[in-house]
Amino acid sequence: MKQDLDRLMAERNLDAIIVEGPDGFANANPDFTYMTNGVSLTGTVLKRRGEPAMIVYRAMERQQAAETGLTMVLYDRWNMREIRQASADNFSAMVEHRRRMLTDLGISGRVGLYGTVRAGPFFAIMVALAQQLPNFEIVAEFENDLFAAARLTKDATEIARLRDIGQKTCEVVQAVVDFIQSGHAHEGIVVDAAGTPLTIGRVRALIGRELAARSLSSPYGTIFAQGRDAGMPHAEGDDAAALQLGQAIVFDIFPRDQAGYFHDMTRTFSIGYAPPELQRTYDEVLGAFDYVISELEAGAPTKPYQDMVCQYFEARGHDTIGRTSPIEEGYIHGLGHGLGLEIHEDFGFPSGADRGDVIVPGAVFTVEPGLYYPSKGYGVRIEDTIYCTPTGEFESLTPFPRQLVIPIH
Amino acid sequence: MKQDLDRLMAERNLDAIIVEGPDGFANANPDFTYMTNGVSLTGTVLKRRGEPAMIVYRAMERQQAAETGLTMVLYDRWNMREIRQASADNFSAMVEHRRRMLTDLGISGRVGLYGTVRAGPFFAIMVALAQQLPNFEIVAEFENDLFAAARLTKDATEIARLRDIGQKTCEVVQAVVDFIQSGHAHEGIVVDAAGTPLTIGRVRALIGRELAARSLSSPYGTIFAQGRDAGMPHAEGDDAAALQLGQAIVFDIFPRDQAGYFHDMTRTFSIGYAPPELQRTYDEVLGAFDYVISELEAGAPTKPYQDMVCQYFEARGHDTIGRTSPIEEGYIHGLGHGLGLEIHEDFGFPSGADRGDVIVPGAVFTVEPGLYYPSKGYGVRIEDTIYCTPTGEFESLTPFPRQLVIPIH
């Protein structure tokens, strides 16, 4: 949680942090968004250990800067026009502006770097600054960094948001089921009253409207993948295709709310009926899902859950990433991932090297076993977003039934 | 244009480029999106001068990698699991994987860095790589970089997209005007047939639905700012506020299509009537807009247009950023900016140091003069997206009237 930042900085021996918030990344800068309390603006957050965080903002965004609740520092406190006139070029001016800013605000010692940036300019500026500042050691954390640790546990405000977006996401999925059931079967596909096929494109348009009506967006799209596409975890689905009876449909939806928080859920459907092989595979995936949920325990390391699912599937004749890598069919990915201000946060259930991730109270993560057989024309995944409460219980934030077949007239 | 990349690399003496495409930035990584031809995936694009670009992709995203049309290189060609087992930690493994990849694919010499990254991990990896690779000079361009230069001029496919999204954006603005006109005036505000106020929140919900119906999104929101908020260029507007008569409303909308291209337009409205001071200010902004449009010339440097607008406004008694900086009231920003895969591309009409930007055939940019008086409770901005055709003519991609007053019953 945010209140842990000073303690976590002390653990990492960080004297200060810089969280970059350059223009154009408002929706893709979770650490910056975390610090600005969800307010979108261009700027830089600076914080010395034990002191309040500061936002360096432009005059044009005074109002947004005030909304962050952070200590406000105007960018032009170091007059950029004057600095430019005294500099050889814009690059030198940018470095000089930043040098003055860091010096005057006391950002020195061991300094952690965070935020989303443009690779080239950021690299150039930091290399130049490191040369010019006497007491400035860049600490570039690689994984399980300060923000991953802070953001891993959600506070009550965040949980309220995550619960709300989960509820709304389920409403959107229900609207899709209702839409499918508003059609009827005709020669192996679903058509509307006028006889026009219900296509994946029409479903996707409906999803867009239903999300918008709930002030949700889908910045990374939505997976609605049928048949062979359902066998490829990242295939989005073919908008031109009509909905077919008896085909696996993997419907994976991961919308974002206006403050930047995500939900992530997957249901696998088969319209009208399910062929026996698909039903059997579905039952195995659901079995794995239920097994994991029943075994979840606060304080437990994550890796054994991934191993457990691999063994579960291997015992049923499936290849898994636990014994084969790279792998293209069978159980081919990790069991889940942390989520919050990112769909994929820095927490997982690894098959490879164990980083020591542990399920701590306050964590929010997905559980999403799946089996993929593109060569056989199907795939199955079932996914809920799960919350480990402060008292160590587990709550699904995805209140939606897990049922394969959508009956249809 | 993309076909210029090799020439531009030669001009910059670049032997190769690396375009980073880490997870989670699909919508905020324009250079990577440019190289993948709009396909969303996680990976790295590598290109040696004079050779085709390569995409290093994960097995799970084979299909997306194929859709890019680039030369495909599987990430696990350098088996990550084996590298991990032989490495001290995940960080060393990542560096080693990348060292092998760059060595085997011949990415050496003067190498340009592009793409959107996480500040800390990227810095750590590049510093480590620079130490380990013998012939690897990082070239971190600061501005007017390779991609800014390539992307500045749009090809026919891009223009077709930009024209289409401009048309659709105007339809959404028209839908908002229609919605306002569906209400009627009552005690200084706009209400619907049931007497319920039309609020900015209701307008925003309508915008969301109308955008979704056209497969557009608004990842950076929409400005619908009334009264004092209209005087602050980046204020989004207060959802709880009812639409008032005779108040400036700055409506600035900048949606994105599914391939990642943007449109950007602003209209300033006043419902029912306009107070004389607002009308006079509006006429001055429109005068500046028309003046600039009439003077646009292919091959001309941009800075004189900004100077021209400052002089135009100063002659009419307004303070401007041309003579005062920082500035909070009057004409307080640049005249416009390039746009395409970003709302703000690296091309502008500067008030400060002149970088030498020139209006070249193929460029797409905004023209958006404005006057801001939050202390007097209003602001005005008028903005079209403009295309400089290959033959040096100018076309507005924003076919929407520029009229202040929205008549209402």
The CATH number of the domain holding residue B113 is 3.40.350.10
Give the closest of B63, B126, B342 to A123, CB-based: B126
Contact B122, A124 (CB under 8 A): no
- The H or E element containing residue B286 is helix B276-295
Phi, psi of A331 (to 5 degrees): -100, 105
Going by C-alpha positions, the residue among B267, B204, B205, B202 that lies closest to residue B230 is B267
Range of the domain at A16: 2-150
- Return the pLDDT at A352: 77
Amino acid B136: pLDDT:
95
Quick one: how far is CA B324 from the chain centroid? 26
Residue B211 tokens read as 């955008």
| The predicted structure's pLDDT at residue A143 | 82
Compute CA B183 distance to the chain's CA centroid, rounded to the nearest angstrom: 33
Q: How many angstroms separate the CA atoms of A356 and A352, rounded? A: 12
Instruction: Examine the domain organization and report whether B133 and B179 are in the same domain.
Output: no
Whole-model pTM: value is: 0.87
Whether residue A260 is found in the same domain as residue A351:
yes
**CB–CB contact B123 A124 (8 Å):** no
Task: Indicate whether A337 and A189 sit together in one domain.
Answer: yes
Residue B216: CATH number of its domain: 3.90.230.10
**A117 has which bridge partners?**
B117
DSSP string, A295-355: H--TT-BSHHHHHHHHHHHHTTT--BTTT-SS--SBB-S-S-EE-SSSSSEEEE--SSS--
Shortest CA distance to A367 belongs to which of A274, A282, A259, A266? A266
Percent of chain B with pLDDT over 70: 100
Three-state DSSP at B316 gives coil
Distance CA A353, CA A345 (A): 17
Q: Which of A131, A150, A169 is the last residue of a domain?
A: A150
Residues with Cβ within 8 Å of B106's Cβ and at least 6 positions away in sequence, in order, are B16, B48
Asked whether the predicted pLDDT for residue B266 surpasses 90, the reply is: yes
Of the residues B150, B184, B206, the one at which a domain ends: B150
A264 neighbourhood in chain B, CB within 8 Å = none
Mean pLDDT within B135-145? 91
How far is the C-alpha of A136 from the C-alpha of A107, rounded, in Å?
8
What is the mean predicted confidence (pLDDT) over A193-213? Answer: 93
Taking the CA atoms of residue B338, residue A33, residue A44 and residue B322 in that order, the dihedral angle to the nearest 10 degrees is 40
The per-residue DSSP string of B69-120 comes to: TSEEEEGGGS-HHHHHHTSSSHHHHHHHHHHHHHHHTT--EEEEEEEEEEHH
Q: Looking at the structure, do residues B398 and B279 belong to the same domain, yes or no? A: yes
Residue type, A274: A
For residues B248-269, average pLDDT: 96
Q: Domain check: are A118 and A202 in the same one?
A: no
Predicted pLDDT of residue B156: 95
User: Is the pLDDT score of A353 beyond 80?
Assistant: no
Q: Which of B193, B154, B141 is nearest to B19 (CA)?
A: B141
Give residue B409's pLDDT. Answer: 93
Same-domain status, B122 and B23: yes
- Rounded CA-CA distance B93/B98 in Å is 9
Give the H/E segment covering residue B167. helix B156-182
Which range (B134-143, B223-232, B388-397) has the least confidence? Answer: B134-143
A65 close to A43: Cβ distance less than 8 angstroms: yes
| pLDDT score at A219 | 84
Structural contact between residues A225 and B60, judged by C-beta atoms closer than 8 angstroms: no
Single-letter amino acid, residue A217:
S
Tens of pLDDT, residue by residue over B320-359, are 999 998 888 999 999 999 999 999 998 999 887 788 899 9
Instruction: Kindly give, in sequence order, each residue whose CB lies less than 8 Å from that of residue A135, ignoring residues fewer than 6 positions away.
Output: A108, A109
Based on the domain organization, do B119 and B181 belong to the same domain?
A: no
Instruction: State the DSSP H helix or E strand holding residue B364, giving kind and residue range, or none if neither.
Output: strand B364-367
pLDDT tens digits, residue range B28-54?
Answer: 999 999 999 999 999 999 999 999 999
- Whether A379 contacts chain B with CB within 8 A: no
A115 and A32, same domain (yes or no): yes
Residues of A in contact with B124 (CB under 8 A): 140-142
Q: Which of A120, A150, A180 is the last residue of a domain?
A: A150
User: Quick one: pLDDT at residue B325?
Assistant: 84
Residue A261's SS3 state is: coil
- The H-or-E segment that residue A184 falls in is strand A184-186
Q: Kindly state the DSSP code that residue B361 receives in the 8-state scheme.
A: T
Q: Chain A: nearest CA to B43, how far in angstroms?
A: 14
Residue A88 has a CB neighbour count (10 Å cut-off) of 8
pLDDT at A212: 86
Q: How far apart are CA B284 and CA B271, in angstroms?
A: 19
What would the two tokens of residue A401 be?
């039934």
Q: Among A120, A122, A142, whose Cβ lies nearest the Cβ of B145?
A: A120
According to DSSP, the residues that pair with A111 across neighbouring strands are A16, A138
* Residues within 8 A of A (CB atoms), B 157-196 only: none
One domain, residues B311 and B187: yes
Instruction: Tell me the C-alpha distance between A253 and A263, whole Å.
Output: 8
Total domains present in chain A: 2
B64 close contact with A: CB closer than 8 A = yes
Give me the residues paired with residue B396 across strands.
B386
Of A28, A221, A352, the CB nearest to B116: A28
For the purposes of burial, counting CB atoms within 10 Å of the CB of A400, is it exposed (0-12), middle (13-18) or buried (19 or more)?
middle
Predicted pLDDT at B48: 98
Task: Determine the pLDDT at residue A26.
Answer: 81
What pLDDT does B142 receive?
85
Q: Is A400 helix (H, G, I), strand (E, B) or coil?
A: coil
Residue A245 identity (one-letter amino acid): L
| Chain B residues near residue A117 by CB distance under 8 angstroms | 116-119, 122
**Which pLDDT does position B59 carry in this prediction?**
87
Structure tokens, B337: 């900016």
Q: Which residues contact A177 (CB under 8 A, 6 or more apart)?
A: A269, A406
Residues 257-316 of B with CB under 8 A from A: none
Q: How high is the pLDDT of residue B131?
A: 92
Mean pLDDT over A266-285 rounds to 98
Q: Is A344 on the interface with B (CB under 8 A)?
A: yes
Q: Are residues B12 and B51 in the same domain?
A: yes
Three-class SS of residue A120? Answer: helix
What is the percent of chain B with per-residue pLDDT over 90, rounded to a whole number? Answer: 87
Mean pLDDT of chain A: 95
Q: Which two tokens stand for residue B191?
A: 């209400």
Distance from C-alpha of B210 to C-alpha of A119, rounded to nearest angstrom: 35
- B303's CB contacts (< 8 A; 6+ apart) are B349, B350, B354, B357
How much is the average pLDDT of A322-331? 91
Both A328 and A382 in a single domain?
yes
Residue A372, SS3?
Answer: strand
Question: What radius of gyration do chain B's Cα atoms show?
Answer: 24
Nearest-angstrom CA–CA distance, A233 and B375: 54
pLDDT of residue B176: 98
Name which of A331, A355, A387 is nearest A153 in CA terms: A387
pLDDT greater than 90 at residue A341:
yes
Tell me what the pLDDT averaged over chain B comes to: 95
Gap between the Cα atoms of A292 and A369, Å rounded: 9
In what helix (H) or strand (E) does residue A85 lie, and over which residues does it extend? helix A80-85
Same domain, B20 and B75: yes
How many A×B Cβ pairs under 8 Å?
A: 216
